[in-house]
A and B are shown apart, each in its own frame.
Chain A
Amino acid sequence: MTANLHLWLIPLLPLLGAAINGAFGKRFSRQLVSAVGLAGSGAAFLYALWIASQYSALATAMPIVDKTLGTWIKAGTFQADFAFQLDQLSFVMLLIVTGVGFLIHVYSVGYMWEESGYYRFFCYLNLFLFFMLTLILAANYLLMFIGWEGVGLASYLLIGFYFTKDSAANAGKKAFIVNRIGDFGFLIALFLLIQHFGTLDFTLLADKIVPLGSEAGWGLLSSIGVLLMVGAAGKSAQIPLYVWLPDAMEGPTPVSALIHAATMVTAGVYMVSRSHVIFDRAPQALLVVAVIGCATAFFAATIGICQTDIKKVLAYSTVSQLGYMFLGCGAAAYSAGVFHLMTHAFFKGLLFLAAGSVIHSLGGEQDMRRMGGLRKEIPWTFWTMTAGTFAIAGFPFFAGYYSKDMILWKVSQHNPILFGFGLLTAFITSFYMFRLWFMTFFGERATAEAGHGHHDQAPAAHGHDDHGHDGHGHGHAGGHAHESGWLMLFPLVVLAILSVIGGWMVGGGEGFAKFLSPVFSVGLAADPTEVAGGMSEGFVSALATVAFLLGLGLAWFLYVRRKNIPAQIAQNLGGIYSAVLNKYWVDEIYATVIVNPMMAISRTVLWQGIDRKVIDATLDDAAAGANQLSGEVRKMQSGNIRSYAAWVAAGAVLVVGYMMWMGAAR
């Protein structure tokens, strides 16, 4: 038995920071606010590191449950405690959340320095960490649900941070309400668990569920699994509930990095992994998870192709990568899903922060068409972003390579169709990421006027135009980009290193799976990784590397090589002669036959069509429909007393009639 770890302190430390900043931050100087905010998150990180240093001693005792805070609810036979739990899974999540969280706090000090409401920002950020840590350390579903709703609330506050803007407030509200729809599934699943198993405690539930056999058809566990997936789809932005995530980019960039890339949106993946005992016995539900994940991964990646806003590309990319994680979980390879969750936290956190650095250096410019050639002007940002891009695209031996291969390999053993789409998505991912990379850092910068013309509208979207300079204190009216301060670069460098070595560090997919196996092998007869048949891991890796190279090549071809054609040559030379002579003729064919249709499909059909007009509009229509119904309901309220009495009398006739019928039928 180990000494009491006092796990409850970990979430409480950031809460303390939030409380101090919330109550007194208005009177504090910026330095003091930053100190409090960093102390809140840093202390939690140090605590996590301390636990890590004790890991070898603790490992045998895991899961360690800490019930210091006592009982929360006790009603009849049902009981839920304020109990926190540490096992390998929550340990990994703890390190990711506190580590990445702390880095992003550091980054925010630089990024948000000029913003009004600086203290509010840090208060919300710490509050978010509190809820997120509660979510991952909870030892039962009900406590997890506190964190689950809490992160939604904190995310809502942070998205709406630029609250002078209507679009930001609306995006926040949309995120919250879509999440509530997901929570509906989660809650019903919890009710079913209580009803049938009488508890929400992870350990007790596992004890009761493990003896149950695998469900052949559609049964209780499948229903619970699918309902949990509905909840996960809301939080982790999966089809059809993903619409809020691209809109959530209205928030400040550190928020996008922390909440909408590295931590909160992965809560769904964590929850599904945490519920693996249920999913292991519900193959139908697993299939649903895999299909939703795969469809989301592919669909969101194709939309990513045509986005021109740098943050929107990353947003759709996040949706797509989350789909990968669910695909992994759906193949019962939870460790692969969590592995990708971890590497994704590194490289996507990095990409967002680097994108923020780019945006910052350009004074709020988010449109990639107005970027270009930035690699010399902001070298640190360029090199770190390069590491992130190569990692996400799956460059061999970078973090994303290991985790993505692991997922693809596992899926290949289950379902060739899903594997095919997964591989195709890997190619598209590589393509749109290098598109972003080339458009941002290579070629020529768009003209100052163009950059300026936009500068008047877009930056308002970002709130940067009112100060027009950053920590360096020099303006950029001339359109000169400048490197961010060290506060912003330090997290970039750390995350870049992790993006490069993060996969290798933990021993690749196999090593990571072995680490997590005490958690995921609970209730399984054999090690789940020992599935026979399918392709060999090496072959899958080779295929994925080919997909990476193809994506890189295509992006280079379209955004570097073809771009360099002097425009006048293309215009002046005409006819067969010029066409034959023109060494870029093949490019033109290529552009007309393949690329333009592809871009057009991505833009008009997938994005403006399905994404905006079908899925988003369906949700909007549902809202509009509700509003219309609301109008109808209000018509009952004519203001006339006699009509009200008529309602009461009609109701009375109904009630008396029903009861007389019941009396007669008895």
Chain B
Amino acid sequence: MVPISYYLGLSAALFICGIAGFLLKRNIITIFMSIELMLNAVNLSFVAFAAQLHNLAGQVFVFFVMVVAAAEAAVGLAIIIAVYRTRNTLNVDQVDLLKL
């Protein structure tokens, strides 16, 4: 059996990929996908822990997270469209009216 630490390592790596994607990408959609990646990294560790602990709760949590992520995606895309309409850009670096 694959040790739990492998799963956790993969999960952490995916999570960090997500963070890096947020910090490095300029397209708002890509940034949003990076966040989804972070959530899925967490899902992976939930499932891994569930398998290790022989406890189904962890797998159930994944469904909750997916539902919440879907709701977030719906709202997020709406907000992105609103931004695109007012600013005509999806480059996150150009969305900086509010500062200081």
Contact = CB atoms under 8 A, between A and B. Distances in A.
Interface of A: 634-635, 637-642, 645-646, 649
B92 A642 contact: yes
Contact of B23 (A635, A637, A638, A649): A649
B99 interface: yes
A647 to B, nearest CB: 11
Interface string B71-100: 000000000000000000000110111111
A648 to B, nearest CB: 9
B99 A639 contact: yes
5 contacts: A635-B100, A638-B99, A639-B97, A641-B31, A649-B22
Contact of A645 (B23, B26, B93, B96): B23
B19 interface: yes
A637 B95 CA distance: 13
A642 B99 contact: no
Nearest to A641: B92
10 nearest A-B pairs in the assembled complex, by CB-CB distance: A639-B99, A639-B96, A634-B100, A645-B22, A641-B92, A637-B100, A640-B96, A637-B99, A649-B19, A646-B23
A640 B99 CA distance: 8
Contacts of A639: 96-100
Contacts of A641: 31, 92, 95-96
Interface residues of B, number: 14
A635 B93 CA distance: 16
Contacts of B99: 637-640
A642 B93 CA distance: 8
B22 A642 contact: yes
Interface in B5-43: 19, 22-24, 26, 31
A639 B96 CA distance: 5
A160 B34 CA distance: 56
Contacts of A646: 23
A642 B100 contact: no
Nearest to A635: B100
Contacts of A635: 100
B95 to A, nearest CB: 7
A643 to B, nearest CB: 9
Contact of A640 (B19, B24, B31, B93): B93
A649 B35 CA distance: 13
Contacts of A637: 99-100
A641 B98 CA distance: 10
A635 B26 CA distance: 21
Nearest to A653: B19
A414 B33 CA distance: 78
Given A639-B100, A642-B24, 9 more contacts: A635-B100, A638-B96, A639-B98, A640-B96, A641-B95, A642-B22, A642-B23, A645-B19, A646-B23
Interface centre among B19, B26, B31, B97 (most CB of A within 10 A): B19
Contacts of B31: 641-642
Nearest to A633: B100
Nearest to A631: B100
A404 to B, nearest CB: 56
Contacts of B98: 639
A245 B19 CA distance: 56
B17 to A, nearest CB: 13
A639 B31 CA distance: 17
A128 to B, nearest CB: 39
A635 to B, nearest CB: 8
A642 B26 CA distance: 8
A252 to B, nearest CB: 40
A649 B96 CA distance: 19
A315 B27 CA distance: 65
A649 B18 CA distance: 11
Nearest to B97: A639
B28 to A, nearest CB: 9
B14 to A, nearest CB: 15
B1 to A, nearest CB: 26
A642 B31 CA distance: 9
A438 B92 CA distance: 75
A640 B92 CA distance: 8
A649 B24 CA distance: 12
A639 B93 CA distance: 9
Contacts of B97: 639
Interface centre among B26, B31, B98, B99 (most CB of A within 10 A): B99
A505 B36 CA distance: 86
Interface in B47-69: none
Contacts of B93: 640, 642
A644 to B, nearest CB: 10
A645 B24 CA distance: 10
A256 B1 CA distance: 86
A637 B100 CA distance: 5
Nearest to A646: B23
Nearest to B93: A640
Contacts of B96: 638-641
Contacts of B24: 642
A637 to B, nearest CB: 5
Contacts of A649: 19, 22-23
Contacts of B92: 640-642
Nearest to B94: A640
A646 B92 CA distance: 14
B73 to A, nearest CB: 18
B46 to A, nearest CB: 19
Nearest to A652: B19
Nearest to A640: B96
A116 to B, nearest CB: 39
A555 B91 CA distance: 78
A634 B100 CA distance: 5
